[in-house]
Structure 1
Amino acid sequence: MDFVEFVKTRQSDRAFDPARPVEKEKIDRIIRTVQLAPSACNAQPWHLIVVDDPELKNKVADATSSRILGINHFTKQAPVHILLVEEKVNLMSGIGGWVKNKDYAQIDLGIAAAHLVLAAHAEGLGSCILGWFDEDKMKELLAIPQSKRVWLDIVIGYSTQPLRDKKRKPIDEIVSFNGYVKTK
Protein backbone atom coordinates (compact mmCIF):
# COMPACT_ATOMS: atom_id res chain seq x y z
CA MET A 1 0.00 0.00 0.00
CA ASP A 2 1.37 3.43 -0.81
CA PHE A 3 1.59 6.00 1.97
CA VAL A 4 -1.43 8.07 0.88
CA GLU A 5 -3.62 4.97 0.84
CA PHE A 6 -2.19 3.95 4.22
CA VAL A 7 -3.10 7.35 5.71
CA LYS A 8 -6.58 7.22 4.15
CA THR A 9 -7.28 4.01 6.08
CA ARG A 10 -6.13 5.39 9.47
CA GLN A 11 -8.96 6.87 11.48
CA SER A 12 -9.83 7.88 15.03
CA ASP A 13 -11.43 4.72 16.34
CA ARG A 14 -14.01 4.84 19.10
CA ALA A 15 -14.91 1.16 19.30
CA PHE A 16 -12.49 -1.56 20.37
CA ASP A 17 -12.57 -5.26 21.16
CA PRO A 18 -12.10 -5.14 24.96
CA ALA A 19 -11.42 -8.89 25.13
CA ARG A 20 -8.45 -8.74 22.76
CA PRO A 21 -5.25 -7.51 24.40
CA VAL A 22 -2.51 -5.78 22.43
CA GLU A 23 0.63 -7.85 22.17
CA LYS A 24 3.68 -6.47 23.98
CA GLU A 25 5.78 -6.78 20.82
CA LYS A 26 3.41 -4.42 19.02
CA ILE A 27 3.53 -1.91 21.86
CA ASP A 28 7.33 -2.11 21.82
CA ARG A 29 7.46 -1.39 18.07
CA ILE A 30 5.04 1.53 18.46
CA ILE A 31 7.16 3.02 21.24
CA ARG A 32 10.26 2.64 19.08
CA THR A 33 8.69 4.86 16.40
CA VAL A 34 8.15 7.61 18.97
CA GLN A 35 11.75 7.25 20.08
CA LEU A 36 12.75 7.83 16.44
CA ALA A 37 10.47 10.85 15.93
CA PRO A 38 12.16 14.12 15.02
CA SER A 39 12.14 17.04 17.45
CA ALA A 40 13.51 20.57 17.52
CA CYS A 41 17.25 20.43 18.28
CA ASN A 42 16.75 16.73 19.07
CA ALA A 43 15.22 17.73 22.44
CA GLN A 44 12.84 14.74 22.55
CA PRO A 45 10.64 16.51 25.13
CA TRP A 46 8.38 13.59 25.90
CA HIS A 47 7.86 10.79 28.34
CA LEU A 48 5.44 8.01 27.50
CA ILE A 49 3.37 6.20 30.10
CA VAL A 50 1.92 2.94 28.80
CA VAL A 51 -1.09 1.87 30.82
CA ASP A 52 -2.09 -1.71 30.13
CA ASP A 53 -2.94 -3.01 33.60
CA PRO A 54 -6.72 -3.59 33.28
CA GLU A 55 -7.69 -2.12 36.65
CA LEU A 56 -5.50 0.96 36.31
CA LYS A 57 -6.50 1.35 32.66
CA ASN A 58 -10.16 1.55 33.68
CA LYS A 59 -9.37 4.28 36.21
CA VAL A 60 -7.45 6.21 33.55
CA ALA A 61 -10.40 5.73 31.19
CA ASP A 62 -12.72 7.17 33.84
CA ALA A 63 -10.52 10.28 33.90
CA THR A 64 -11.08 10.74 30.15
CA SER A 65 -14.87 10.58 30.09
CA SER A 66 -17.45 13.17 30.99
CA ARG A 67 -20.95 12.28 32.03
CA ILE A 68 -22.09 15.87 31.59
CA LEU A 69 -20.82 16.14 28.01
CA GLY A 70 -21.35 12.46 27.20
CA ILE A 71 -17.89 12.05 25.67
CA ASN A 72 -15.10 9.49 25.64
CA HIS A 73 -17.07 6.63 27.22
CA PHE A 74 -15.52 4.29 24.64
CA THR A 75 -12.09 4.57 26.28
CA LYS A 76 -12.75 1.69 28.69
CA GLN A 77 -12.95 -0.65 25.69
CA ALA A 78 -9.39 0.16 24.61
CA PRO A 79 -6.89 -2.20 26.23
CA VAL A 80 -4.02 0.31 26.17
CA HIS A 81 -3.68 4.00 26.99
CA ILE A 82 -0.43 5.77 26.17
CA LEU A 83 -0.02 9.16 27.79
CA LEU A 84 2.34 11.79 26.41
CA VAL A 85 3.89 13.85 29.17
CA GLU A 86 5.88 16.96 28.28
CA GLU A 87 9.49 17.03 29.41
CA LYS A 88 11.81 20.02 29.36
CA VAL A 89 13.40 20.91 26.07
CA ASN A 90 17.17 21.11 25.76
CA LEU A 91 19.00 24.44 25.85
CA MET A 92 19.05 25.04 22.08
CA SER A 93 15.37 24.22 21.61
CA GLY A 94 14.49 26.41 24.60
CA ILE A 95 16.47 29.37 23.29
CA GLY A 96 15.11 28.89 19.78
CA GLY A 97 11.57 28.74 21.10
CA TRP A 98 12.08 31.91 23.11
CA VAL A 99 13.66 33.78 20.20
CA LYS A 100 11.02 32.67 17.69
CA ASN A 101 8.10 32.75 20.16
CA LYS A 102 7.16 29.15 19.37
CA ASP A 103 6.49 26.29 21.75
CA TYR A 104 8.64 23.65 20.11
CA ALA A 105 7.83 21.09 22.80
CA GLN A 106 4.15 21.12 21.84
CA ILE A 107 5.04 20.83 18.16
CA ASP A 108 7.35 17.92 18.97
CA LEU A 109 4.64 16.20 21.01
CA GLY A 110 2.30 16.48 18.02
CA ILE A 111 4.92 14.86 15.80
CA ALA A 112 5.42 12.09 18.37
CA ALA A 113 1.65 11.52 18.54
CA ALA A 114 1.44 11.28 14.75
CA HIS A 115 4.24 8.71 14.72
CA LEU A 116 2.47 6.75 17.45
CA VAL A 117 -0.92 6.52 15.76
CA LEU A 118 0.59 5.71 12.35
CA ALA A 119 2.73 3.00 13.93
CA ALA A 120 -0.35 1.58 15.66
CA HIS A 121 -2.14 1.54 12.31
CA ALA A 122 0.81 -0.28 10.73
CA GLU A 123 0.45 -2.90 13.47
CA GLY A 124 -3.22 -3.44 12.58
CA LEU A 125 -4.45 -1.47 15.58
CA GLY A 126 -6.92 1.33 15.93
CA SER A 127 -6.23 4.47 17.91
CA CYS A 128 -7.75 7.72 19.06
CA ILE A 129 -5.92 10.81 20.32
CA LEU A 130 -7.59 12.36 23.35
CA GLY A 131 -6.95 15.82 24.68
CA TRP A 132 -10.03 15.95 26.89
CA PHE A 133 -9.33 14.42 30.29
CA ASP A 134 -8.94 15.27 33.95
CA GLU A 135 -5.23 16.05 34.03
CA ASP A 136 -5.06 16.24 37.83
CA LYS A 137 -6.69 12.83 38.11
CA MET A 138 -4.22 11.39 35.58
CA LYS A 139 -1.33 12.81 37.60
CA GLU A 140 -2.73 11.30 40.79
CA LEU A 141 -3.36 7.87 39.26
CA LEU A 142 0.03 7.61 37.55
CA ALA A 143 2.28 9.42 40.07
CA ILE A 144 3.08 12.18 37.57
CA PRO A 145 4.69 15.19 39.25
CA GLN A 146 2.44 18.25 39.50
CA SER A 147 5.05 20.28 37.62
CA LYS A 148 4.56 18.15 34.48
CA ARG A 149 1.92 18.57 31.77
CA VAL A 150 0.03 15.60 30.40
CA TRP A 151 -0.81 16.66 26.85
CA LEU A 152 -2.41 13.62 25.29
CA ASP A 153 -3.86 10.21 26.06
CA ILE A 154 -3.78 7.95 23.02
CA VAL A 155 -5.91 4.84 23.26
CA ILE A 156 -5.02 1.83 21.15
CA GLY A 157 -6.54 -1.57 20.57
CA TYR A 158 -8.15 -3.78 17.98
CA SER A 159 -10.81 -1.66 16.35
CA THR A 160 -14.33 -2.92 15.81
CA GLN A 161 -15.34 0.26 14.01
CA PRO A 162 -15.93 0.20 10.26
CA LEU A 163 -13.80 2.48 8.11
CA ARG A 164 -15.48 5.84 7.61
CA ASP A 165 -15.18 8.24 4.70
CA LYS A 166 -12.94 11.16 5.57
CA LYS A 167 -14.58 14.56 5.33
CA ARG A 168 -11.84 17.06 4.54
CA LYS A 169 -11.67 20.54 3.09
CA PRO A 170 -10.79 20.66 -0.59
CA ILE A 171 -7.06 21.00 -1.34
CA ASP A 172 -7.51 24.46 -2.88
CA GLU A 173 -8.93 25.70 0.46
CA ILE A 174 -5.94 24.57 2.49
CA VAL A 175 -2.98 25.03 0.13
CA SER A 176 -1.55 27.86 -1.90
CA PHE A 177 1.76 28.02 -3.72
CA ASN A 178 4.36 30.76 -3.50
CA GLY A 179 2.29 32.98 -1.23
CA TYR A 180 -0.74 33.06 1.03
CA VAL A 181 -3.88 32.96 -1.04
CA LYS A 182 -7.16 32.08 0.62
CA THR A 183 -9.87 31.02 -1.84
CA LYS A 184 -12.78 31.15 0.58
Structure 2
Amino acid sequence: MTNMDSIDFLEFVSSRQSVRAYDTNRPVEKEKIERILETARLSPSACNAQPWHIIVVDDPVIKNRVADATSARALGMNHFTKQAPVHLVLVEEKVNLSSGIGGWVKQKDYAQMDLGVIAAHIVLAAHAEGLGSCILGWFNEPAMREILSIPDSKRVWLDITIGYSTQSLREKKRKQINEIVSYNGYKKG
Protein backbone atom coordinates (compact mmCIF):
# COMPACT_ATOMS: atom_id res chain seq x y z
CA MET A 1 0.00 0.00 0.00
CA THR A 2 1.35 3.39 -0.90
CA ASN A 3 0.76 6.64 0.91
CA MET A 4 -1.54 7.70 -1.94
CA ASP A 5 -3.81 4.72 -1.22
CA SER A 6 -4.17 5.93 2.38
CA ILE A 7 -5.10 9.42 1.24
CA ASP A 8 -7.67 8.05 -1.19
CA PHE A 9 -9.31 5.97 1.55
CA LEU A 10 -9.34 8.96 3.91
CA GLU A 11 -11.03 11.04 1.23
CA PHE A 12 -13.48 8.20 0.57
CA VAL A 13 -14.43 7.94 4.24
CA SER A 14 -14.65 11.71 4.56
CA SER A 15 -17.25 11.82 1.80
CA ARG A 16 -19.50 9.16 3.36
CA GLN A 17 -22.34 10.44 5.50
CA SER A 18 -25.59 9.30 7.04
CA VAL A 19 -28.27 9.98 4.43
CA ARG A 20 -31.76 11.06 5.39
CA ALA A 21 -33.07 12.02 1.94
CA TYR A 22 -33.37 9.47 -0.86
CA ASP A 23 -34.43 9.60 -4.50
CA THR A 24 -37.81 7.85 -4.36
CA ASN A 25 -37.91 7.42 -8.15
CA ARG A 26 -34.64 5.53 -8.45
CA PRO A 27 -34.52 1.89 -7.36
CA VAL A 28 -31.26 0.30 -6.28
CA GLU A 29 -29.88 -2.21 -8.74
CA LYS A 30 -29.86 -5.83 -7.51
CA GLU A 31 -26.17 -6.21 -8.48
CA LYS A 32 -25.22 -3.36 -6.16
CA ILE A 33 -27.09 -4.94 -3.25
CA GLU A 34 -25.42 -8.27 -3.98
CA ARG A 35 -21.94 -6.65 -3.89
CA ILE A 36 -22.81 -4.92 -0.61
CA LEU A 37 -23.95 -8.26 0.83
CA GLU A 38 -20.75 -9.97 -0.34
CA THR A 39 -18.72 -7.25 1.39
CA ALA A 40 -20.77 -7.83 4.54
CA ARG A 41 -20.23 -11.58 4.30
CA LEU A 42 -16.48 -11.00 4.32
CA SER A 43 -16.58 -8.87 7.49
CA PRO A 44 -14.33 -10.00 10.34
CA SER A 45 -15.82 -11.25 13.60
CA ALA A 46 -14.51 -12.50 16.94
CA CYS A 47 -13.37 -16.12 16.54
CA ASN A 48 -14.99 -16.04 13.08
CA ALA A 49 -18.39 -16.46 14.80
CA GLN A 50 -20.27 -14.43 12.16
CA PRO A 51 -23.20 -13.86 14.56
CA TRP A 52 -25.50 -12.18 12.09
CA HIS A 53 -28.33 -12.66 9.67
CA ILE A 54 -29.19 -9.95 7.15
CA ILE A 55 -32.75 -9.49 5.93
CA VAL A 56 -32.95 -7.56 2.67
CA VAL A 57 -36.22 -5.65 2.59
CA ASP A 58 -36.96 -4.34 -0.89
CA ASP A 59 -40.63 -5.26 -1.38
CA PRO A 60 -42.37 -1.83 -1.29
CA VAL A 61 -45.22 -2.92 0.98
CA ILE A 62 -43.00 -4.69 3.51
CA LYS A 63 -40.41 -1.90 3.29
CA ASN A 64 -43.03 0.70 4.18
CA ARG A 65 -44.15 -1.36 7.18
CA VAL A 66 -40.51 -1.66 8.33
CA ALA A 67 -40.13 2.11 7.85
CA ASP A 68 -43.21 2.67 10.01
CA ALA A 69 -41.57 0.56 12.74
CA THR A 70 -38.54 2.89 12.70
CA SER A 71 -40.53 6.11 12.83
CA ALA A 72 -41.28 7.86 16.12
CA ARG A 73 -43.84 10.55 15.44
CA ALA A 74 -43.81 12.03 18.93
CA LEU A 75 -40.04 12.46 18.81
CA GLY A 76 -39.91 13.43 15.15
CA MET A 77 -37.44 10.66 14.39
CA ASN A 78 -36.74 8.67 11.24
CA HIS A 79 -39.55 9.96 9.05
CA PHE A 80 -37.21 9.72 6.05
CA THR A 81 -37.05 5.91 6.14
CA LYS A 82 -39.96 5.38 3.72
CA GLN A 83 -37.94 7.17 1.05
CA ALA A 84 -35.19 4.52 1.11
CA PRO A 85 -35.86 1.77 -1.44
CA VAL A 86 -33.94 -0.86 0.53
CA HIS A 87 -33.57 -1.69 4.22
CA LEU A 88 -30.98 -4.17 5.46
CA VAL A 89 -32.06 -5.46 8.85
CA LEU A 90 -29.35 -7.01 11.02
CA VAL A 91 -30.41 -9.79 13.35
CA GLU A 92 -28.09 -11.19 16.00
CA GLU A 93 -27.35 -14.90 15.79
CA LYS A 94 -25.65 -17.05 18.40
CA VAL A 95 -21.88 -16.81 18.58
CA ASN A 96 -19.73 -19.91 18.24
CA LEU A 97 -18.28 -21.68 21.28
CA SER A 98 -14.92 -19.86 21.21
CA SER A 99 -16.48 -16.42 20.97
CA GLY A 100 -19.09 -17.28 23.61
CA ILE A 101 -16.53 -18.52 26.13
CA GLY A 102 -14.17 -15.65 25.34
CA GLY A 103 -16.95 -13.12 25.81
CA TRP A 104 -17.98 -14.68 29.11
CA VAL A 105 -14.39 -14.76 30.42
CA LYS A 106 -13.61 -11.21 29.28
CA GLN A 107 -17.07 -9.80 30.11
CA LYS A 108 -17.49 -8.48 26.56
CA ASP A 109 -20.36 -8.90 24.15
CA TYR A 110 -18.45 -9.85 21.02
CA ALA A 111 -21.64 -10.31 19.01
CA GLN A 112 -22.55 -6.64 19.48
CA MET A 113 -19.05 -5.60 18.44
CA ASP A 114 -19.26 -7.87 15.39
CA LEU A 115 -22.61 -6.35 14.39
CA GLY A 116 -20.98 -2.92 14.54
CA VAL A 117 -18.18 -4.13 12.29
CA ILE A 118 -20.55 -5.59 9.69
CA ALA A 119 -22.65 -2.39 9.77
CA ALA A 120 -19.51 -0.35 9.01
CA HIS A 121 -18.66 -2.68 6.12
CA ILE A 122 -22.21 -2.32 4.75
CA VAL A 123 -22.27 1.49 4.79
CA LEU A 124 -18.79 1.75 3.26
CA ALA A 125 -19.71 -0.79 0.56
CA ALA A 126 -22.89 1.18 -0.17
CA HIS A 127 -20.83 4.35 -0.49
CA ALA A 128 -18.44 2.57 -2.88
CA GLU A 129 -21.50 1.69 -5.01
CA GLY A 130 -22.54 5.36 -5.16
CA LEU A 131 -25.36 4.84 -2.66
CA GLY A 132 -26.29 6.59 0.53
CA SER A 133 -27.06 4.82 3.80
CA CYS A 134 -28.08 5.44 7.37
CA ILE A 135 -27.70 3.11 10.37
CA LEU A 136 -30.79 3.07 12.59
CA GLY A 137 -30.89 1.66 16.09
CA TRP A 138 -34.17 3.32 17.07
CA PHE A 139 -37.16 1.20 16.07
CA ASN A 140 -40.03 -0.84 17.46
CA GLU A 141 -38.34 -4.23 17.81
CA PRO A 142 -41.50 -6.31 18.45
CA ALA A 143 -43.11 -4.76 15.34
CA MET A 144 -39.97 -5.45 13.33
CA ARG A 145 -40.03 -9.10 14.48
CA GLU A 146 -43.67 -9.47 13.50
CA ILE A 147 -43.30 -7.79 10.08
CA LEU A 148 -40.24 -9.86 9.12
CA SER A 149 -41.20 -13.16 10.84
CA ILE A 150 -38.17 -12.98 13.15
CA PRO A 151 -38.39 -15.41 16.09
CA ASP A 152 -38.91 -13.84 19.53
CA SER A 153 -35.64 -15.44 20.64
CA LYS A 154 -33.66 -13.22 18.23
CA ARG A 155 -32.53 -9.62 18.72
CA VAL A 156 -32.97 -7.14 15.91
CA TRP A 157 -29.95 -4.85 16.26
CA LEU A 158 -29.91 -2.46 13.36
CA ASP A 159 -31.78 -1.33 10.28
CA ILE A 160 -29.63 0.20 7.55
CA THR A 161 -31.44 2.22 4.92
CA ILE A 162 -29.91 2.26 1.44
CA GLY A 163 -30.68 4.25 -1.69
CA TYR A 164 -29.58 7.07 -3.93
CA SER A 165 -28.97 10.21 -1.89
CA THR A 166 -30.58 13.54 -2.72
CA GLN A 167 -28.81 15.48 0.00
CA SER A 168 -25.63 17.48 -0.36
CA LEU A 169 -22.45 16.65 1.51
CA ARG A 170 -22.36 18.17 4.98
CA GLU A 171 -19.28 19.19 6.91
CA LYS A 172 -18.47 16.50 9.48
CA LYS A 173 -18.56 17.67 13.08
CA ARG A 174 -16.09 15.52 14.94
CA LYS A 175 -13.88 15.94 17.97
CA GLN A 176 -10.29 16.95 17.31
CA ILE A 177 -7.83 14.06 17.01
CA ASN A 178 -6.03 15.05 20.24
CA GLU A 179 -9.33 14.73 22.12
CA ILE A 180 -9.79 11.08 21.15
CA VAL A 181 -6.25 9.72 20.72
CA SER A 182 -3.26 9.36 23.01
CA TYR A 183 -0.07 7.38 22.54
CA ASN A 184 1.44 4.83 24.88
CA GLY A 185 -1.04 5.45 27.68
CA TYR A 186 -4.43 6.97 28.45
CA LYS A 187 -4.31 10.74 28.41
CA LYS A 188 -7.56 12.64 28.03
CA GLY A 189 -7.57 16.04 26.27
TM-score (norm 1): 0.99
Question: Structure 1 residue 159 and structure 2 residue 170: aligned?
Answer: no
C-alpha distance in structure 1 between counterparts of 2:92 and 2:62, whole Å: 21
Q: Which residue of 2 aligns with 1:101?
A: 107
State the secondary structure of the residue aligned to 2:50: coil
Where do residues 1-184 of structure 1 align in structure 2 (5 Å cutoff)?
2-183=8-189
Give the counterpart letter for 2:68 in structure 1: D
Letter in 2 for 1:35: R
User: Structure 1 vs Structure 2: percent identity of aligned residues?
Assistant: 76
Deviations 1:99-129 (A, max 9, x none): 0000000000000000000000000000000
- Separation in 1, partners of 2:60, 2:91: 21
Q: Using the TM superposition, give the Cα deviation of residue 19 of structure 1 relative to its aligned residue in structure 2, in angstroms.
A: 1.1
SS of structure 2 residue aligned to 1:50: strand
Match of 1:169, SS state, is coil
Q: Tell me, which stretches of 5 or more residues in structure 1 are unaligned?
A: none
Q: Tell me the distance in 1 between the aligned counterparts of 2:98 and 2:79.
A: 41
CA–CA separation in structure 2 for the residues paired with 1:18 and 1:71: 19
Q: What number of residue pairs does the alignment pair up?
A: 183
Q: CA RMSD in A?
A: 0.6
Give the counterpart letter for 1:165 in structure 2.
E
SS of corresponding position for 1:98 = helix
Provide the rounded CA distance (Å) in 2 between the counterparts of 1:16 and 1:116.
17
State how far apart, in whole Å, the 1-side matches of 2:73 and 2:99 are. 40
* Amino acid of the structure 1 residue aligned with 2:59: D
